[in-house]
Amino acid sequence: MAKKFLIMPLALAVFILADALLVLVPQAGSFGKIAAKYRDISKKLQELQVGILSRSRRMKAKKTLKEEVAFLEKKIPGPKSDLGPYLSLISRVAKKTHIGLVSIDPLSSQKAPKNKYYKLFYLPFKLVIRDTYHNLGRFINALENSSWFLEVKEIKISGSYPKNNIEMVVCGLAR
């Protein structure tokens, strides 16, 4: 009787083990498939997140570039025929830096290098100044850091200390 009592739990254990193997072995393959799908989905999600980050970086860069273009467009005044703004700017800077500005003569405008967005022109001005080196340095610095594009193209200094005779060509940009 003890043997019959022992056979029954042993048979039950074998049955449960066989059932578990029959159920788990096929599921192990499906677990592998699920794990592979999970890896693929996880990889695609990471790629998507990188894409979103790079898109947001591109959008920020585009916004920054638009702001820079708007800022630079403000530094180029109106048409080349309107010399008034440049003349008044040069006069204001000369007054502010206490430079001895003798005369301002506009020269003929020249085409700037080709640009696919704007047709630009150089507006040169010949300035005659009588002052010291220090005041000249302040004046050039103030001109080149003004609200519009202005740069010194040529400079000729003659005369004696303390006041020098200075002739310079300053160019601005116009549309």
Q: Say which amino acid occupies 55.
A: R
- The percentage of residues in the chain with a pLDDT greater than 70, rounded to a whole number, is 72
Query: Residue 21: which pLDDT band, with cuts at 50, 70 and 90?
Result: low
Query: Residue 9: which pLDDT band, with cuts at 50, 70 and 90?
Result: low
The CATH architecture one would assign to domain 84-174 is: 2-Layer Sandwich (3.30)
| Rounded Cα gap, residues 128 and 169, in angstroms | 9
* 42-85 confidence digits (pLDDT tens): 787 777 777 777 777 778 878 888 888 777 777 777 666 677 88
Confirm if 90 and 170 have CB atoms less than 8 A apart: yes
Average model confidence (pLDDT) across the chain: 78
**C-alpha distance from residue 165 to each of 20, 33, 92 (Å):** 105, 88, 20
User: pLDDT value at position 20?
Assistant: 59
166 versus 147: the higher-pLDDT residue is: 166
Say what the pTM is: 0.58
* 103-145 confidence digits (pLDDT tens): 998 888 777 667 666 677 788 899 999 998 888 999 999 988 8
